[in-house]
Amino acid sequence: MAAVSAGRPEADEPIPPDPDDPHPPAGSELSAGDVVPGGFGWARVAGRVVPLAATGVALYLLMPQLLAVFSAFPRLRAFQPLWYPAMVLLEAASFACVWQLQRIAISGLSWFLSVTSQLVSNSISRIVPGGIAVGGAVQFRMLNRGGCDPAAAGFALTATSMVTTGIVFGLPLVVLPVITFGQPAPSGLTAIATTGGLAFALLVIVGVVLARSDTTVRLLARAVTWLARLARRSVPADLPDVLVARRTDVIRSLGRRWPGAVLTAAGKWGLDYLALLAALAGAGQHPRVSLVLLAYVAANVLAMIPITPGGLGFVEAGLTGTLALAGVPAAAAAVSTLAYRLVSFWLPLAAGAPAWVAYRVRYR
């Protein structure tokens, strides 16, 4: 048998094309369906341009309401300054409830990792259009790098999100008896209470199904696998079994401490609501707390709309409008909304950068 020269392939072995050759061999051209790694396909371009365009259109349409709120800056001189530290303390306690809820859902999660990952996720979700999903993905990666099991972290974040969202939708049920048997409320706020109650019931049903049905979790795993393949990402072959096991772990962790989980989730919204009441008090307004609660729920539902970062524009327009329905004068509603958003939206946004630096120093 004739020897093969060193460094030369056999006759039946294909010769790989030289990437620097300006004239590739015949048959090596890319087909229309191939994707060049690192290239910008139409899907990627559309995935970035369309959300930005939707955000621009939404902000353009909401610009009058935004200008009306931000034009209230000079009136902040009349805002009672002692209410600012009260609002900051209430918001800090509200965030602390979120951090504790994450520690309840994820066994062994440290305070440092819970605080930094949530602050960074919160900041990103309020900067990027459609930022709720992006912020959640960033927090997932930070928890993973911090040593948390990825499947358990994913299920825990989903569970805590469902619990907190369910609580905010369930808040109108607290004042529904007051509206029904006591003082009537404007029709717009009554509709908010009814919609919130229906959404709460839907979330409860979804949560029960995910908690008790292994088949639903496996279908969810197959959907995640399909999406990962579209994004050309690899997933473990046993993902359905892993998700079922981690779902059970999270439920077991929450089940042992479910009163604490519910209380911390309720504390997150209750303290934030008290910050809104403090903003109204600072503007010299003391409307019915039940009507303000419905206005607060409407504002937080608008904040979940993934068109503008953190519901910017939607919240300002919705909160000033619903506060007006609650009996707050338009000028005072604008001042209260501005003061509340400065403390609840912009101040935590600035805390994201220091949290990221601290995380990078700890987990190089």
Whether 62 is covered by a domain: the verdict is no
Give Cα 63 to chain centroid, integer Å: 24
Q: Confirm whether 79 is domain-assigned.
A: no
Structural domain includes residue 36 = no
Render pLDDT for 139-180 as a digit per residue (tens, 0 to 9). Answer: 889 998 988 888 778 777 877 887 787 787 777 777 767 666
pLDDT at 232 over 80: no
What DSSP designation does 287 have?
-
Give the separation between CA 291 and CA 273, rounded to whole angstroms.
Answer: 12
Share of the chain above pLDDT 90, in %: 18
Number of domains the chain contains: 1
Tokens in use for 47?
Answer: 């995935």
Q: Residue 60 domain-assigned?
A: no
pLDDT score, position 100: 93
Count of Cβ atoms closer than 10 Å to residue 358 Cβ = 15
In a domain, 217, yes or no: yes
Q: Is residue 25 part of a domain?
A: no
The answer to whether residue 161 sits within a structural domain is: yes
Reported as a single tens digit per residue, the pLDDT across 92-134 is 999 999 999 999 888 888 999 999 999 999 998 888 766 677 8
pLDDT tens readout for residues 1-42: 444 444 444 444 444 444 444 444 444 444 333 444 444 455
Pick from 147, 215, 204: which is nearest to 173 by CA?
Answer: 204
- Per-residue pLDDT band at 343 (split at 50, 70, 90): very high
In a domain, 240, yes or no: yes
Q: Which domain holds residue 225?
A: 89-362
Which pTM value belongs to this model? 0.70
Residues 6+ apart with CB under 8 A from 21: none
Which helix or strand (DSSP H or E) is residue 172 part of?
helix 150-181
75 band by pLDDT with thresholds 50, 70 and 90: confident
Distance CA 295, CA 188 (A): 10
Please give the angle made by the CA atoms of 129, 135 and 139, to the nearest 5 degrees.
170
